[in-house]
Amino acid sequence: MKKKILSTFLIFLFLGCSDNSVTSSEGKVEIDLNKVYKWNMVTTWPKNYPGLGLAAENLSKYVDEMSNGRMKIKVYGAGELVPAMGVFDAVSQGNVELGHGASYYWTGKVKSSQFYTAVPFGLTAQEINSWIHWGGGQELWEEAYAPFNLMPLAGGNTGVQMAGWFNKEINSIQDLKGLKMRIPGLAGEIFSRAGAETVVLPGSDIFLALQQGVVDAAEWVGPFNDLTFGFHQVAKYYYYPGWHEGGSTLEIIINKEAYESLPDDLRAIVKYAARAVNQEMLDEYTANNNRALTELVEVHGVELRKLPDDVLVELRKISREVMEEFIEGDEMATKIYNSYEAFKQDVIEYHEISEKAFIEMRDLED
Ligand code: CA
């Protein structure tokens, strides 16, 4: 009996000790309910920009509510603390704790960041969320950003975008020859190879470029965002589908040391608030895109057009070549692209008989 009590006591003592030692070796931060963490967050969007810009504001709000005011995040629009394209460096260097933007802005620094926003003919919102959170995407993203002292999280999704606004009809791949279009990134490269002259312009410059005929076409996001910029006043045709951005993900980046300085409960709050923001944006876009599209077509008389299948097939062919060249010689980008593509092949098989079959079924006529 005595022996049993003693051994129980020893086990208890051992567990107690080991728990303490684990605590210190993992660098657990003591929870101090009176301590208020004040963080700054820079973004690549104008302050309070509908949809994209509000994700950062929502993160700040959710973290404040969940932490009962123990963590305050002040959000800055592009250019207020740092320019839009300075967000990555500002957070990486620890000048600010948090950033919000689109990861593909940083392909010049981290090639593989492209895969965390959008890949032409890639994953939809539902699929990319699944790859990131259940398919190994998150771990690879952390690995790619670790050398930059950054912890990335998905922070919003626009859903499938539109192919864009055109003042010329696209009836065949030949119609892309000489077309001047605002379309950035890999999609721009693909359009260039199809013969278009592509340019990169910030969203706020698109309207004037279309109006003055500097470009014949431009892509931005989708009906919800495009309506606010008024592109329907300066372009005739609104083409779909957004073959190049099937579910563009936004990102939250956190300075790693700042993240590790948080006690466990606040780390969890930041993480789950990001997860909520990620879903929240998709819900907002789904609701608002439909409303905005109805207004564009019924009130403003926009001509909605679908890109012809043979044009899409041709773009997909070029896209494969561009992707192969893009990852060549970059070990991390190759590793992430392979994971992304393998996940895509798997999920496509199931979505054939689930999402796609369900949507087609709803369209069956009596
Ligand atoms: Ca876009």
- Centre of ligand 1 to C-alpha 161, Å, is 6
Q: pLDDT at position 26, please?
A: 59
Kindly give the distance from the C-alpha atom of residue 33 to the centroid of ligand 1, in angstroms, as a whole number: 43
| Domains of the chain (ranges, CATH numbers) | 35-157+247-286 (3.40.190.170)
16-20, 28-32, 105-109, 271-275: least confidently modelled range: 16-20
Ligand 1: distance of its center to the CA of 15 in Å?
54
| 45 DSSP 8-state letter | S
User: Is-contact 92 148, C-beta < 8 A?
Assistant: yes
Q: Is the pLDDT of residue 14 over 80?
A: no
Contacts of 160 by beta carbon, 8 Å cutoff, 6+ apart: 124, 125, 222, 241, 242, 245, 246, 247
Q: Look at residue 185 in the predicted model and tell me its pLDDT.
A: 85
Q: How far is the CA of 118 from the centre of ligand 1 (A)?
A: 9
- Per-residue pLDDT reduced to its tens digit, 314-330: 999 999 999 999 999 99
Q: How far apart are CA 204 and CA 207, in angstroms?
A: 7
pLDDT over 70 percentage in the chain: 93
The whole-number pLDDT of residue 201 equals 85
Instruction: Calculate how far, in angstroms, residue 219's C-alpha sits from the geometric centre of ligand 1.
Output: 6
- What are the pLDDT digits (tens) for 15-36? 333 333 334 445 789 899 999 9
Distance 365 CA to ligand 1 centre (A): 34
Q: How far is the CA of 21 from the centre of ligand 1 (A)?
A: 49
Q: Which of 1-15, 195-209, 285-299 has the highest mean pLDDT?
A: 285-299
Distance 265 CA to ligand 1 centre (A): 36
- Which percentage of the chain shows pLDDT scores above 90? 86
Pick from 277, 335, 344, 275: which is nearest to 120 by CA?
344
Model pLDDT for residues 51-65, shown as the tens digit of each residue:
888 999 999 999 999
Write down the mean pLDDT value for the chain: 92
Amino acid (1-letter code) at residue 357: A
Output the CA 53–ligand 1 centroid distance in Å: 15
pTM attached to this predicted model: 0.88
Could you tell me the pLDDT band of residue 10, with boundaries at 50, 70 and 90? very low
CA of 221 to the centre of ligand 1 (A): 4
SS3 365: coil
Ligand 1 center–CA 363 separation, angstroms:
28
Look at residue 171 in the predicted model and tell me its pLDDT. Answer: 98
Work out the average pLDDT over 70-88.
96
At 175-208, the pLDDT tens digits run 999 999 999 889 999 999 999 999 988 788 899 9
What's the pLDDT score for residue 28?
84
**Which tops the pLDDT comparison, 282 or 46?**
282
